[in-house]
Amino acid sequence: MIGRLNHVAIAVPDLEAAMAQYSGALGANVGAPQDEPDHGVTVVFIELPNTKIELLYPLGDESPIRGFLDKNPAGGIHHVCYEVEDIAAAAARLTESGARVLGNGAPKIGAHGKPVLFLHPKDFNGCLIELEEV
Amino acid sequence: MIGRLNHVAIAVPDLEAAMAQYSGALGANVGAPQDEPDHGVTVVFIELPNTKIELLYPLGDESPIRGFLDKNPAGGIHHVCYEVEDIAAAAARLTESGARVLGNGAPKIGAHGKPVLFLHPKDFNGCLIELEEV
């Protein structure tokens, strides 16, 4: 069912410092910051030859990243995102397996404009998994 | 400098359950467990179309994964591994930037038989980064 790894998201406490690090010391191809006010994040994509790293920085008081950074002040790997062809079928299959889809259980439109859902990390080895329909 | 994302490593408290989850509910292509006694881990590779997920489970009393699982009993994303062409040059460049290479600062032979190094997570947004020469 799951296809490509679409991205790995890393929550960072200092976006400019993280961008400088990835473009400088690590020599990667770092994009421009994009504000996603509907999702409470500013995102920066780092293009690798086979996938992307997504730097996440809180935007606004209600940002879902803020609690994560309160618990992990240095930042940390926030989630991985796997691609699926049919997110409704994926949601049904996962729910049937006993896994919990976060929120009301239905896919939503994610920060990239595509249908996404998040799976409960407690059901997946402490790892927050995003599924994105492509 | 950094190239492909070679793998994302997830430390898991129950290897069989994690394998069943990835092959079953998530429908991925899950390999056989491989013991790496020199590195204190049992690894399972999950092949995605563009990269790999590496499940890590402690092997032996000195396993470097055990402390992580003590702190994160449900498991969690342990590290990401980026490929580099010349690991000695990468180590020099990173050290010059002020980043700390774990251990004695020199690359070692990793669990896949290739030269690797790990960067201090405090220097990289709380994210443990492995570099592997390919």
Does A111 score more than 80 pLDDT?
no
Identify whether the C-beta of residue A110 lies closer than 8 Å to the C-beta of residue A130.
yes
What's the pLDDT at B110?
84
Task: Give A8's strand partners.
Answer: A53, A80
**Closest approach of chain A CAs to the CA of B22, in angstroms?**
9
pLDDT band at B37 (very low <50, low <70, confident <90, very high): very high
**With an 8 Å Cβ cutoff, are B21 and A53 in contact?**
no
**Closest approach of chain A CAs to the CA of B113, in angstroms?**
22
Residues of A in contact with B27 (CB under 8 A): 1-2, 93
Q: Which residue bears the tokens 């618990």?
A: A71
Nearest to B89 by CA among A18, A49, A30, A27: A27
As for the ipTM of the complex, it is 0.95
Average pLDDT, chain A: 95
* Beta-carbon count within 10 A of A97 CB: 13
**With an 8 Å Cβ cutoff, are A27 and B97 in contact?**
no
Q: Which residue bears the tokens 């492995």?
A: B130
pLDDT band at B105 (very low <50, low <70, confident <90, very high): confident
Does B30 score more than 80 pLDDT?
yes
Residues of A in contact with B51 (CB under 8 A): 4-5, 50-51
Q: What are the residue ranges spanned by the domains of chain B?
A: 5-133
> CA B55 to CA B41: how far, in whole Å?
10
Q: Is A47 a residue of the active site? A: no
Residues of A in contact with B8 (CB under 8 A): 5, 8, 80
Give the class (CATH, top level) of B5-133: alpha beta
Catalytic residue among A62, A130, A132, A133: A130
pLDDT band at A51 (very low <50, low <70, confident <90, very high): very high
User: Given CA atoms A56, A61, A66, A67 in this order, what sign does their dihedral have?
Assistant: negative
> What stretches of A1-40 adopt beta strand conformation (E)?
5-11, 29-30, 34-36
Nearest to B125 by CA among A57, A46, A124, A24: A57
Q: Which residue bears the tokens 């240095």?
A: A74
> CA A54 to CA A120: how far, in whole Å?
20
pLDDT tens-digit profile of A59-108?
Answer: 998 899 999 999 999 999 999 999 999 999 999 999 999 999 999 888 99
Identify whether the C-beta of residue A120 lies closer than 8 Å to the C-beta of residue A105.
no
List the structure tokens of A52: 């992307």
What's the pLDDT at A106?
86
